[in-house]
Amino acid sequence: MNHEQSRDLYDRALSVMPGGVNSAVRAAIEPYPFFVERGDGGHVIDADGNRYVDWVMGLGPLLYGHDLPQPVEAAIQSHASEGPMYGTPTEVEVEHAEFVTRHVPSVEMIRFVNSGTEATVSACRLARAATGRDKIVVMQGGYHGAQESTLVEGDGDAVHPSSPGIPQAFAEQTLTLPFNDKEAAQTLFEEHGDDIAAVLTEPILANYGIVHPVEGYHETLRDLCDDYGSLLVFDEVITGFRVGGLQCAQGKFGIEPDLTTFGKLIGGGFPVGAIGGRAELVEQFTPAGDVFQAGTFSGHPVTMAAGLESLRYAAENDVHDHINDLGDRIREGLTDIVADQAPEYTVAGTDGIFKVLFSRTAPETFDGHCEAGCRQRTDCPRFDHCPKNAADVKAGETDRWRRVFWPKMKDQGIFLAQNQFEAQFVTYAHTREDVEETLEAYKEAL
């Protein structure tokens, strides 16, 4: 494959943008990222004219791939040509809020913002204000955006910032847990419960491999939060309106969080985030309450139109069925390939997300049951190998993935997530042929 144009663009980019990119993960491709010229259905075409089956899909916001249904495209164009924004409310914001509150039972009221990061920042502030406590619990390997309260490393209360520029005093307000470890959660609450404002977790870790909750894990968190008067916050930036369809992962797992953060799909491919939850909580945001929250672009009419029409179209058509069927097919195909060629690896995912984890570890102390609806079940022949938390994923052959596997897939015209940790996404634009082509490439590369 020729990459001359991408290389030239990268050279230019390096002198005007740090690392040549506007978001860290994009530069993970070596020796330089390919620059995309345009999308086409389930594919992208790079600046040199190379075509790839695209399983990155903007890192999650594209339910329809690069092919918007006509009503979605029309709504975007009409709102873009009418303003495009005003600094005063519009009907489409109300309609979008009504749509989300109608479909997600735990969400009675919602505040739209402009990114997943902004959503989790505001959710932490709201949880702290509502409880009068400071500490936020996050999962090791969970990702909640580029924000001070969650960019931490460490275990329990021995936590430090994971980036320069974050004061240790901030990290001291954050506690961490290994995902899926009920006893660790119990112990942490016994020690710090009265200071914990909220537990913030992705329902499925989707930024660190894909790690599914074991049976009863979220129930344990729910009970602990109830017992200690803390809030349970589900970060559904990735899972929202994807896993579990319109009822989101919380519906699929039957757990009612106090607050939910959204992003990605609810903006239909435009910058978005949101914080939803019980009215008595969300109403504490200004101007209804006194927890300060504001944003010039929040509830942007073009974004709201794109997000609302995308979700509406999904509600009225076979969008999630198509995506979930293709998701099942690719996971089944990968399971066969992995069993044959790399039995120590794990195929993870559910609904429209999938990943092959290059992990070899079997956590010896683990005695839980996996309730994943994927390959990570106790009756699965690979159950012992299946990662249950971030440490298990990290112990995998991440370097092999990066240096050997990813480039081999790219050379076969398959664009996978830029590192071993991010989920890959099936969209309505993908076809059975895309899946079969991808499976052939996995077979070859593995």
Residues known to be catalytic: 143, 235, 264
Nearer to ligand PMP (CB atom), residue 22 or residue 187 = 22
CB closer to ligand PMP out of 47 and 266:
266
Q: Give the whole-angstrom CA distance, residue 153 versus residue 133.
A: 21
Token pair of 410, please? 């790219």
CB-nearer residue toward ligand PMP: 39 or 263: 263
Rounded CA separation 385/445 (Å): 21
Q: Cβ 23 to ligand PMP, closest distance in Å?
A: 7
User: How many whole angstroms separate alpha carbon 243 and alpha carbon 252?
Assistant: 7
- The least distance separating ligand PMP from the CB of residue 106, rounded to whole angstroms, comes to 17
CB of 3 to ligand PMP, least distance (A): 26
Both tokens assigned to 38: 């345009």
- The span from the CA of 279 to the CA of 108, in Å, is 5
Number of other residues whose CB lies within 10 A of the CB of residue 273: 27
Q: Is the peptide bond before 61 cis (omega within 30 degrees of 0)?
A: no
Nearest to 60 by CA among 304, 265, 327: 265
Nearer to ligand PMP, 207 or 420 (CB): 207
Which is nearer to ligand PMP, 217 or 442 (by Cβ)? 217
C-alpha 405/C-alpha 409 separation (Å) is 6
Contact 162, 153 (CB under 8 A): yes
CB of 229 vs ligand PMP, minimal distance in Å:
25
CB closer to ligand PMP out of 161 and 263: 263
d(CA 8, CA 12): 6
Tokens 């001359």 locate to: 4
Secondary structure element (H or E) that encloses residue 76, with its range:
helix 70-81
Instruction: Give the residues lining the site for ligand PMP (CB under 6 A).
Output: 59, 115-117, 120, 143-145, 202, 207, 235, 237-238, 263, 273
Considering the complex, what minimum distance in angstroms separates the CB of residue 409 from ligand PMP? 21
Those residues with Cβ within 8 angstroms of residue 92's Cβ, 6 or more apart along the chain or in another chain: 79, 301, 304, 305, 308
Nearer to ligand PMP, 69 or 209 (CB): 209
Angle value at C-alpha 23, between 21 and 24, nearest 5 degrees? 90
We find the least distance from the C-beta atom of residue 239 to ligand PMP, in angstroms, to be 8
Q: How far is CA 397 from CA 46, 361, 446, in A?
A: 28, 10, 12
Minimum Å gap between C-beta 53 and ligand PMP is 21
Cis peptide before 287 (omega within 30 of 0): yes
Beta strands 259-263 and 273-277, pairing class:
antiparallel
Least separation in angstroms between residue 117's CB and ligand PMP is 3
Task: Report the residue number, 203 or 363, with the smaller CB distance to ligand PMP.
Answer: 203
Alpha helices (H) in 317-386, listed in sequence order: 319-341
The total number of residues written for the chain in this structure: 446
* Whether the Cβ atoms of residue 138 and residue 387 lie closer than 8 Å to each other: no
- Whole-Å CA distances, 438 to 43, 55, 409: 12, 10, 8
